[in-house]
Amino acid sequence: MSVTEDRPNVSRDPATNQMVERAQDEGIPTVFDRYKSQQPQCKFGTTGVCCRLCHMGPCRITTKAPQGICGANADTIVARNLLREIAAGTAAHSDHGRMLVRTLKLVANGAGGAYRIADPLRLREVARAFEVETEGRDDLALAGALADFFMTQFAWSEETNVTLTMAPEKRQALWEKLDIAPHGIDSAVVELMHRTHMGVDHDYKHLIMGGLKCSLADGWVGSLIATAVSDILFGTPKPIRSRVNLGVLSETKVNIIVHGHEPTLSEMLAVASSEPEMVAYAKEKGAAGINIAGICCTANEVLMRHGFPIAGNFLQQELAILTGAVEMMIVDVQCVMPSLPEVMKCFHTRLVSTSEIAQTFDAEQITFEAAHGLEHARNLIRAAIDNFANRDKARVQIPQESMELVAGFSNETIFHMLGGRFRSTFRPLNDAIIDGRIRGVVGIVGCNNPKVSSDNAHVTLTQELIKRNVLVLQTGCAAIACAKAGLLTPEAALAQAGDSLREVCEAVGIPPVLHMGSCVDNSRILLAATNVLLEGGLGEDLSDLPVAGAAPEWMSEKAVAIGHYFVASGLYVVLGHPLYVAGSENVDRLLTEEMEGITGGKFAWEPDPVAAADLIMAHIEGKRDALNINQKKERKLYDMKERRELV
């Protein structure tokens, strides 16, 4: 039976459905087939009550066996499993950040090959923010000092992480009071692994607070560092136009797909692909040129800075190969399916894995070194061009769908756009929120998941929120989903926005849905919320703001960490499907109810995107009531004398 016969809604994206049909016709298994063959999924796993943390187990909690062999109950087991996900998510984002800091240090030492400081202004701005001495230092010396400072943020220290000072003061004080301010990224991850080892931390409340601490090391430290260093090395994003979906692949050019998360090699691929010798070599081999497109967050990185097209989001990685038009897929880390080589075997595509820590069975391994980045990039592009001759034109099937988009909304850019020509400021945004023309701001982030029709919840939730005059910030695969549906074209999004949101967006020149980057760039969302707060008039802490987060189709452990650092930052987070905590009423209640009294934030689970929008609106309006900005202001007509007194 076809995967789409009994599940006609594999995706709301026609290009995805077309390629899934092709896979079915040709008997090539994809993620959607494997999802089916995993049904029914294990209830012990999905409710979080399966423990294999020691070899007396594994143990599974049931009504007949309410404790594991060691005596751990459902609360302990559920909380420990959750913490290990937070640790893994934090490690992934932060190791990505460390890789970038290493490259920054190489550049500073003159050993960075073709890498440069692309944004010296941002370098100085970031250094000043962390009190790294800028006086008397040229860019390279300053880059070295900043890289050294960032490296100190990974190791354990008596002091809490310095980058936490980017958060509002009241929030920092709360973290101190709750004892959840991390003392180093690596030690936060190690601490969670230690606490969840058999026979250590057993109190579910204490465990969950430990999880929040580690998640803060992700959002406010590791991810924040990754974003800042990417901006310094590769440039701070500015609005840029491009296209998205499988239709960006070319019938006539050499197609190279970059996939994963680390932007370092793809930056050099961007440079090398436009070199005249490379283009000439492609033409010599019968191609019209070189087309670099991305999947997942590497895609978002090269989109934000170079305007390179995006071939698709997470669930489209196998489908891109199924077009028969991809000469090479270059992968780095995270969200790369181990199934790719199997699909490759049916086509001429070459799969190249480039990270020293990530090898894929049957993929070619070319371990990337920053000092030789440009050389690696040229070699890979040449190899892809050579592979063009192996493309079987009769088997090429590229879906027509491709959509225009505008991305590149860093905080710095939003700041400048809102301030117009004269002064960078968030004031117009705050004023619009205070007077109710914008009801609030929501970050919609995260992956796709074959458990639900791909892209549908992202798109529907976004449409519902902009219709209700909420400004939407996006990253990751959520942004790609909405881009495919046309919501990242300012014109289309404005047409779907509520009247007052549209009026504000048109007046200040920003679209109602802002693509802010990759998964680590969720730190930009934290800083956007902080900027709004610091601008004034909307309370004293992040938890006072009419702001929320949502991950309607998430699947990754990184999303678990992200959700927790949003909640630890005082924000309301609606997930499209629950964390694996249903096996413990206590943990579930702590996360979805009691947490609000602790951090000011909490989780909700809601699969229906319209109902999720209702929940978010209720939260936003509640915050507006508490801020006293929902009061209808009486219109006062002034006489001439009163007007003079006002001047």
d(CA 186, CA 209): 17
User: Whole-number minimum distance, CB 290 to ligand SF4, in Å?
Assistant: 52
d(CA 593, CA 555): 23
User: Which partner from the list ligand SF4, ligand MSK, none does 155 bind, CB cut-off 5 to 8 Å by kind?
Assistant: none
C-beta separation of 226 from 520 below 8 A? yes
Q: Which pairing describes strands 513-515 and 254-260: parallel, antiparallel, or unpaired?
A: unpaired
Which residues lie closer than 8 Å to 528 by C-beta, 6 or more apart? Answer: 411, 414, 441, 473, 516
- Using the rule CB under 6 A, which residue among 104, 322, 326, 519 binds ligand MSK? 519
Contact between 244 and ligand MSK by CB under 6 A: the answer reads: no
Q: Which of 505, 496, 454, 502 is nearest to 478 (CA)?
A: 454
Q: Which pairing describes strands 50-51 and 59-60: parallel, antiparallel, or unpaired?
A: antiparallel
Which residues lie closer than 8 Å to 466 by C-beta, 6 or more apart? Answer: 472, 487, 493, 496, 497, 498, 501, 512, 513
d(CA 379, CA 373): 10
d(CA 158, CA 304): 37
Q: Which is nearer to ligand MSK, 476 or 583 (CB)?
A: 476
User: Which partner from the list ligand MSK, ligand SF4, none does 164 bind, CB cut-off 5 to 8 Å by kind?
Assistant: none
User: Whole-number minimum distance, CB 63 to ligand SF4, in Å?
Assistant: 16
Contacts of ligand SF4 in 35-74 (CB under 6 A)? 51-54, 56-59, 68-70, 72
User: Whole-number minimum distance, CB 198 to ligand SF4, in Å?
Assistant: 4
User: Whole-number minimum distance, CB 197 to ligand SF4, in Å?
Assistant: 9
- Using the rule CB under 6 A, which residue among 221, 447, 573, 620 binds ligand MSK? 447
User: Which partner from the list ligand SF4, ligand MSK, none does 519 bind, CB cut-off 5 to 8 Å by kind?
Assistant: ligand MSK
Cα separations (Å) of 74 from 55, 195, 587, 592, 626? Answer: 18, 16, 9, 17, 37
Cα separations (Å) of 298 from 9, 42, 263, 332, 478? Answer: 27, 32, 6, 9, 14
* Interface mask toward ligand SF4 for 77-106; x: CB under 6 A: x-----------------------------
User: Which partner from the list ligand SF4, ligand MSK, none does 69 bind, CB cut-off 5 to 8 Å by kind?
Assistant: ligand SF4
User: Whole-number minimum distance, CB 481 to ligand MSK, in Å?
Assistant: 10
Report the SS3 class of residue 555.
Answer: coil
Q: Which is nearer to ligand SF4, 51 or 442 (CB)?
A: 51
Contact between 314 and ligand MSK by CB under 6 A: the answer reads: yes
User: Which partner from the list ligand MSK, ligand SF4, none does 556 bind, CB cut-off 5 to 8 Å by kind?
Assistant: ligand MSK
Paired strand residues for 442: 472, 548
User: Whole-number minimum distance, CB 72 to ligand SF4, in Å?
Assistant: 4
User: Which partner from the list ligand SF4, ligand MSK, none does 174 bind, CB cut-off 5 to 8 Å by kind?
Assistant: none
Contacts of ligand SF4 in 182-201 (CB under 6 A)? 198
User: Whole-number minimum distance, CB 611 to ligand MSK, in Å?
Assistant: 22
C-beta separation of 52 from 72 below 8 A? no
d(CA 166, CA 525): 12
Report the SS3 class of residue 448.
Answer: coil
User: Whole-number minimum distance, CB 154 to ligand SF4, in Å?
Assistant: 29
Binding site for ligand MSK (CB under 6 A): 261, 296-297, 313-314, 334-335, 446-447, 476-477, 518-519, 556, 558
Binding site for ligand SF4 (CB under 6 A): 51-54, 56-59, 68-70, 72, 77, 198
